[in-house]
């Protein structure tokens, strides 16, 4: 019942707000973005982030006033109702540097858990979607994770937190261990894209330390529905309150947990 309501909401969003919003973001890139910093000099917010979130939230308030909203720039929290978990631009640093790897990420959560999600990449004109029990799709076509069994044949993607000074050695140890055990490592600059491309069989694993619910809500459901597995870096099933994340094709999950054991914590 709730899943159907969530799917209906994403359908409405995709049919009404998304086309114009994507066009707006494509046109705005490379113009004056009025870049400001948030917690530190690397953590940016631009007029694109603010305007994208404003348009998404206005749509929700008008169309589904009973719903709750948790959005990166404006805050909010999980509520009793269906909660929209919104990253208005995931990959802001890429966006500010003119790169095409950025996404709008919208998850719908019920009782704190993702039940439907949509990730749209405006520059790539691509939409990933999933809902519990319905599988994952790219532009409407079903997708699935890789069947890679060996970490030596796996391509791993990661991201680095903006506040990296206190953990720089730890981060480098994780990169070193990945480089020594896997085929390669990539960094797209958007956790939502990392998760979608893992779901689509382009990457075999994605790990990261300091993620927020809006980075992962849609993407982690897309991975699970594509047949993958998502835990934190301690190996516990990933919940939106967990900051660390390991997503894989499932087959190499235990091996990746061992390779990334430097990140284990009590």
Question: Binding of ligand IPD at residue 255 (CB under 6 A)?
Answer: no
* In contact, 187 and 160? CB cutoff 8 Å: yes
Hunting for tokens 């910093």 — which residue is that? 37
| Nearest approach, Cβ of residue 204 and Ca ion (Å) | 22
Check binding of 87 to ligand IPD (CB under 6 A).
yes
Residues 141-160 that bind ligand IPD (CB under 6 A): 159-160
Judged by CB under 6 A, the chain residues 4 through 63 that form the site for ligand IPD are none
Question: 228 is written with which tokens?
Answer: 């993958």
Q: Applying CB under 5 A, which of residues 90, 194, 220, 232 lies at the interface with Ca ion?
A: 90
In contact, 199 and 142? CB cutoff 8 Å = no
Site for ligand IPD in 101-120 (CB under 6 A): none
Q: Which residues, including other chains, have CB under 8 Å from residue 134's CB and lie 6 or more apart?
A: 3, 7, 225
As a whole number of angstroms, the distance between CA 50 and CA 195 comes to 24
Contact 21, 56 (CB under 8 A): yes
Examine residue 216 and tell whether it contacts ligand IPD (CB under 6 A). Answer: no
Comparing every residue's Cβ against ligand IPD, the nearest one is: 159
CB 102 within 8 A of CB 94: yes
Residues 165-224 that bind Ca ion (CB under 5 A): 215
* List 52, 92, 127, 137, residue binding ligand IPD (CB under 6 A): 92
Give the one entry of Ca ion, ligand IPD, none that residue 204 binds, where binding means its C-beta sits below a cut-off of 5 to 8 angstroms depending on kind.
Answer: none
Site for ligand IPD contains 232 (CB under 6 A): no
Dihedral sign, CA of 70, 233, 192, 176?
Answer: positive
Q: Is 213 in the site for ligand IPD (CB under 6 A)?
A: no
CB-wise, 118 or 259, nearer to Ca ion? 118
Structure tokens that stand for 200 in this block: 């689509």
Q: Which does 190 bind (CB under 5 to 8 A by kind): Ca ion, ligand IPD, none?
A: ligand IPD
Say whether residue 53 binds Ca ion (CB under 5 A): no
Nearer to ligand IPD, 87 or 220 (CB): 87
From residue 96, how far is each of 21, 27, 160 by CA, in Å? 17, 13, 17
Contacts of 18 (CB under 8 A, 6+ apart): 104, 120, 127
Specify the residue for token string 């849609």.
Answer: 218
- Cβ burial, residue 3 (10 Å; 0-12/13-18/19+): middle
Residue list 156-185, contact with ligand IPD (CB under 6 A): 159-161
Closer CB to Ca ion, residue 89 or residue 123? Answer: 89
**The one among 53, 90, 232, 255 contacting ligand IPD by CB under 6 A:** 90
Tell me which residue has its CB nearest to Ca ion.
Answer: 90
Distance in angstroms (rounded) separating the CA atoms of residues 91 and 187? 11
Residues engaged in binding ligand IPD (CB under 6 A): 87, 90-92, 159-161, 189-191, 208, 210-211, 215
Q: Give the interface with Ca ion as residue ranges (CB under 5 A).
A: 72, 87, 89-90, 215
């Amino acid at each position: 019942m709730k899943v159907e309501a969530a799917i209906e909401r994403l359908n409405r969003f995709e049919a009404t707000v998304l086309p114009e919003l994507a066009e707006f973001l494509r046109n705005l890139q490379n113009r004056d973005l009025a870049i400001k910093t948030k917690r530190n000099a690397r953590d940016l917010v631009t007029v694109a982030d603010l305007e994208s979130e404003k348009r998404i939230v206005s749509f929700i308030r008008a169309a589904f006033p009973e719903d709750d909203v948790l959005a990166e720039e404006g805050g909010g929290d999980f509520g009793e109702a269906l909660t929209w978990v919104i990253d208005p631009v995931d990959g802001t640093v890429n966006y500010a540097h003119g790169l095409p790897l950025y996404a709008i990420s919208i998850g719908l959560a019920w009782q704190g858990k993702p039940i439907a999600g949509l990730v749209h990449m405006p520059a790539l004109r691509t939409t990933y979607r999933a809902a519990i029990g319905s599988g994952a799709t790219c532009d409407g076509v079903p997708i699935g994770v890789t069947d890679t069994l060996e970490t030596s044949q796996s391509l791993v993607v990661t991201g680095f937190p903006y506040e990296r000074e206190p953990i720089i050695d730890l981060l480098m140890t994780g990169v070193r261990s990945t480089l020594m055990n896997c085929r390669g490592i990539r960094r797209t600059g958007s956790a939502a894209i990392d998760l979608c491309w893992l779901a689509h069989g382009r990457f075999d694993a994605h790990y990261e330390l300091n993620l927020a619910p809006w980075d992962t809500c849609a993407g982690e459901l897309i991975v699970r529905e594509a047949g993958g597995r998502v835990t934190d870096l301690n190996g516990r099933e990933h919940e939106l309150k967990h900051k660390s994340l390991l997503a894989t094709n499932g087959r190499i999950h235990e091996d990746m947990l061992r390779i990334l054991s430097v990140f284990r914590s009590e």
